[in-house]
Amino acid sequence: MRERTGLTQVEYFVLHESDGDAPLPEIADAWLDNGARSPTVEEAVPALAGALVSLTADGLVEVRRFTSWPAPWNGGATVEGEHLRAEVGGVDPWLPGPARIGLLVARVTEEGGAYL
């Protein structure tokens, strides 16, 4: 875990949206709801994925995969590091609808809560 001096605007947005268990499609929808931001999921994914990977690497957010949602947090499999980077870099995890390999859900950690 790296020492942080602050958050980028996109990191703060993802952290804020992850407060309270947020499936990735919900984070993307919230991002797209503001017309000043990326108009499509495809255009938003690089920024959102980069922020999510960075926040997870720094221990501010945890991401888990679920086969059904809602579900108890402990029932999900943790996704981190290069696996997370590979999975969130594509558009599919950010789109609503049936997830092919399970729904990715983000949650703010205790450390991340200090930034909210």
| Highest CATH level, class, for 9-113 | mainly alpha
Q: Tell me, what's the pLDDT at 39?
A: 80
Q: Is the pTM value of this prediction over 0.95?
A: no
Q: Residues 62-82: pLDDT tens digits?
A: 999 999 889 999 999 999 999
User: What phi, psi does 84 have (nearest 5°)?
Assistant: -65, -45
Which residues does the chain have with pLDDT short of 70?
Answer: 1-4, 35-36, 98-100
Strand partners, 62: 107
Q: 107 burial class (0-12, 13-18, 19+ CB within 10 angstroms)?
A: middle
In 3-state terms, what secondary structure has residue 80?
A: coil
